[in-house]
Amino acid sequence: MGESEGSEFPPKKQQQSETADFPAKKLARQLDFTQGVLPDHPQSQLSPVVVTPLSAQCQLQPHPQPQPQVVSILVSPQQQTQQQPAVRVVKPESPKSRPRPNAELKDGTPKKQKQCNCKHSRCLKLYCECFASGTYCDGCNCVNCYNNVENEAARREAVEATLERNPNAFRPKIASSPHGARDSREETGEGLVFVKHNKGCHCKKSGCLKKYCECFQANILCSENCKCMDCKNFEGSEERQALFHGDHGNNMAYIQQAANAAITGAIGSSGYASLPVSRKRKGQELFFGKTVNDPSSHRLGHFQQASHIRHAALSSLLPSNPVARAGNTTTLGSSKITYRSLLADIIQSQDLKELCSVLVVLSGEVAKTLSECGPFA
């Protein structure tokens, strides 16, 4: 389309001298750096960092934050009263808050805060990991960065614009399920946290087994929220287990190779975009007499998957649970692989008891913390 310079770009951006070298295109919802409040909320008296009836430990830390991150973002009073009484966003280890490989030591130990490499977004869009996570850029490799204290006004505008598009933009994508809705689980070194992606992913080609997939990146299973195609990121998935199970568990090269093999094989055998669900779930859908292209079938598949996830997640806590194995071997059909919990070789019954105790205590602590920080669900 014709992107004649100057015509569609609001002249008001001239206020910021650094914008001179910013690509004068796109950004149809261009930020107005000259104003401090949203037009929609002229009454809002927003301070640069609005925060939130939060307790002391919930204060904004521009950079860096320990995890869980505590992020404050701008919201209008209207939004505050509507659905986000507390603007604070406690991020679990969301995909975009985890240190990337280049931010780690060779042994995988996180060394420093993630650093973005934005070039065209001024770090004022959700493309920017720093901005998305509610933090200022600090030591990043970005170009023409506005996500810093010096450009707080612009940043504030961007936050408002982003919130205008999506009031949940700065809320954690990966949410735990504190009310018992255990749709997935995050396998951490410390234990299991039942979480799922709020919006769900929309992956098409990655099989949800690469870090392109936000669910996979967050180390969680895809859920009924996802609209992904040919998903292999579900409990009991052969391909997924190939990534995490066995002696190759720490071999990233093997993991990636296995993922590629799984993805390539899936595409090669069933064709790209053939099925929105995996072979396992295809079998389930056939069992239910649903057609693949039926959108409701897709949803059903995910719903069934989610149900399976819940079952399997709980089953995984019981390494020798015969139901878990029988169920999976059945659904896997002709597969020679017998499903075993990923933790089967790790957790002993005594460990399980201890784990349950820890979880009980932890849930109490979480509930306490949530009550202190205010509701944000």
Partner DNA sequence: GAGTTTGAAACT
Partner DNA sequence: CAGTTTCAAACTC
- Contacting positions for DNA (CB under 7 A): 1, 3, 8, 23, 25-30, 95, 100-101, 116-121, 123, 125-129, 132, 162, 165-166, 169, 173, 199, 201-206, 208, 210-214, 217, 228, 256, 260
Rank residues 96 and 290 by Cβ distance to DNA and give the closer one. 96
CB of 116 to DNA, least distance (A): 3
Rank residues 95 and 301 by Cβ distance to DNA and give the closer one. 95
CB of 103 to DNA, least distance (A): 9
| Among 22, 24, 327, 274, residue whose Cα is nearest residue 145 | 22
Rank residues 125 and 302 by Cβ distance to DNA and give the closer one. 125
CB of 276 to DNA, least distance (A): 13
CB of 149 to DNA, least distance (A): 19
What interhelical angle do 322-331 and 279-288 show, nearest 10? 80
Rank residues 65 and 257 by Cβ distance to DNA and give the closer one. 257
Q: Give me the residues paired with residue 195 across strands.
A: 176
Rank residues 24 and 344 by Cβ distance to DNA and give the closer one. 24
Dihedral of the alpha carbons of 52, 56, 58, 60, in degrees to the nearest 10: 80
Rank residues 159 and 193 by Cβ distance to DNA and give the closer one. 159
CB of 289 to DNA, least distance (A): 24
Q: Which residue has the tokens 């004068």?
A: 24
Rank residues 63 and 173 by Cβ distance to DNA and give the closer one. 173
Distance of CA 282 to CAs 229, 234, 331, Å?
12, 13, 10
Phi-psi region of 72 (alpha: psi -120 to 50; beta: other; left: phi over 0): beta
Rank residues 264 and 348 by Cβ distance to DNA and give the closer one. 264
Rank residues 67 and 329 by Cβ distance to DNA and give the closer one. 67
| Among 364, 365, 368, 369, residue whose Cα is nearest residue 58 | 369
Tokens found for residue 269: 């055998």
CB of 120 to DNA, least distance (A): 4
CB of 324 to DNA, least distance (A): 28
CB of 234 to DNA, least distance (A): 15
| Among 176, 222, 171, residue whose Cα is nearest residue 201 | 222
CB of 134 to DNA, least distance (A): 13
